[in-house]
Amino acid sequence: MAMLKPSLAFLVLAFAFFLCFIMSTGSYVYFQFVQQWPPTTCRLSSKPSHQHRPFQRFTIHGLWPSNYSNPRKPSNCNGSQFDDRKVYPDLRSDLKRSWPDVEGGNDTKFWEGEWNKHGKCSEQTLNQFHVDVVQYY
């Protein structure tokens, strides 16, 4: 019986380290689908609006993999770089309609920034990530 206690303590300790490792790998539990109201976004922005009249509908701001313990994580994960040439042409037109850069006017740069910060952490390919975003919209 005395031998069982150190073994049990070792197993509990090993399991605790395993859980710490799993929680630190950058995986996520859910997605935050974030939209923005362009008139307010433009009004609150420090950047001059590229549009004279902002969209009068909600647009996509991003799709963010998240965890309950820290909803802003994971971010800036390793993965393939954004390549505008690899975005499907029909997907591009859907993205321009649903996910425009309402602040700076450069849709491609906006998508690239969102892919690099959040999309790479989604464990999806570039196009699958963007297809999912458009489908949520």
Q: Return the active site residues.
A: 61, 114, 118
Pick from 41, 73, 59: nearest CA to 107? 59
Q: Is the peptide bond before 48 cis (omega within 30 degrees of 0)?
A: no
What Rg do the C-alpha atoms of the chain give, in angstroms? Answer: 21
59 vs 61: CA distance, rounded Å: 7
Collect all residues with Cβ–Cβ distance below 8 Å to 1 and sequence separation of at least 6: none
